[in-house]
Amino acid sequence: MSPAYTVILSFVQSLTPTWRKSQQVNFARLLAAFIERPSLVLSDLARALPPKEQHLHGRLKRIFRFLSNPRLDELALVGRWLKLVYHFGSDLPDDAYRLYLPILLDTTYFEPFAALIATVPCGSRGLPIALTTYDRTDLAPCLPPEESWPPASYRQTHTPAASTVTPFLSQNHIEHKLIDLVWRLLSPALHGVLVADRGFARAALFTRLKSQQRDFVVRIDADTHVWLTSEQPSQPVATAALNSGERRWLPNVYYGKQDRVPINLLIVWDAGQAEPWYLVTSLADAAVTETMYRWRMRTECTHRDEKSGVLLREGAPLAPNPERRPVALSPYWSSGLGRPSHPS
């Protein structure tokens, strides 16, 4: 077992005060095993579990029982983790931004699986606050059932419930559900801003967020059509004249060649960069919009980790069963651990 187990157990206990002691111990042991053997192959993780004299089959069954426990209250872990990272919003550079909490959304693909992760920036890293994994062939992520979420009017309590595997009609619906979960748990004292890259740029998401009064900053491609005025025809956003080192704020424009979603547009071309950022936003302030997206770019270390080895080191395959339980593994990286068929 990892020498860091005692520290991990203390950390787990502080995050999950409502869990049973046995659940806390099993979770801490699983995290320590992941540190010792950074793999998603459950048999590899079982080899790192104590006691070493126990047969591997027995240790593997213990992992299965923990990950398939229907009484494991993961929503309590997500809620406590979110509160733990609130103070990182104070790292924003000016008092005018201190009530804003950038919530960075990103999807990592390791075919045929995907991990959808919401993080809060901390330096050059993103601290995961909510995540799910799913097989892209069946679109059945593991998420807490909505009836267990805390009421929107009183967010301190919820009905304890384990995450369940639920099929969705599309990947977009999975993204909507995770966003809804984060905002349900978000403190009303903070102004959450969804920040995402080009893979999330779509009119349906912008329309949905605006109808829910949730602010966003999303980067779009240079060839995306916008309407600079309602009278002129749409044109690729790249046609907006801009030189390297300049910024341009275009309020009250419309996104999409056909959908025409009202948004604000910020174009930022930093000196020395190959191309500008084209940022669509619901925010009314150009400086806040730029600050929010710069936090997204500062967390590239986390995105590189997710895409190059923390989730799947040395090509280790995820367990084939689609019932995967998402687990935040440390302040700096996260993963989804497989829930396999019961070992025979």
pLDDT digit string, tens, across residues 118-148: 988 877 777 888 888 888 999 998 888 888 8
Query: Is 32 inside any structural domain?
Result: yes
Q: Are residues 51 and 116 in the same domain?
A: no
CATH of the domain at 159: 3.90.350
The residues that bridge with 140 in the sheet, in sequence order, are none
How many structural domains is the chain composed of? 2
User: Residue 313: what pLDDT?
Assistant: 38
Query: Is 319 inside any structural domain?
Result: no
Percent of the chain with pLDDT over 70: 80
Q: Are residues 195 and 48 in the same domain?
A: no
pTM of the model: 0.81
Q: Are residues 133 and 10 in the same domain?
A: no
Q: Are residues 287 and 145 in the same domain?
A: yes
Q: Are residues 190 and 240 in the same domain?
A: yes
Rounded Cα–Cα distance for residues 148 and 42 (Å): 29
Other C-beta atoms within 10 Å of 313: how many?
Answer: 14
Query: Is 140 inside any structural domain?
Result: yes
Query: Is 161 inside any structural domain?
Result: yes
Q: Are residues 46 and 148 in the same domain?
A: no
| Token digits of residue 334 | 């996260």
Q: Are 216 and 282 in contact (CB under 8 A)?
A: yes
Domain range holding 12?
Answer: 1-67
User: Residue 332: is its pLDDT beyond 60?
Assistant: no
Higher pLDDT, 188 or 277: 277
Higher pLDDT, 80 or 291: 291
Query: Is 85 inside any structural domain?
Result: yes
Q: Are residues 14 and 129 in the same domain?
A: no
Rounded Cα–Cα distance for residues 158 and 68 (Å): 21
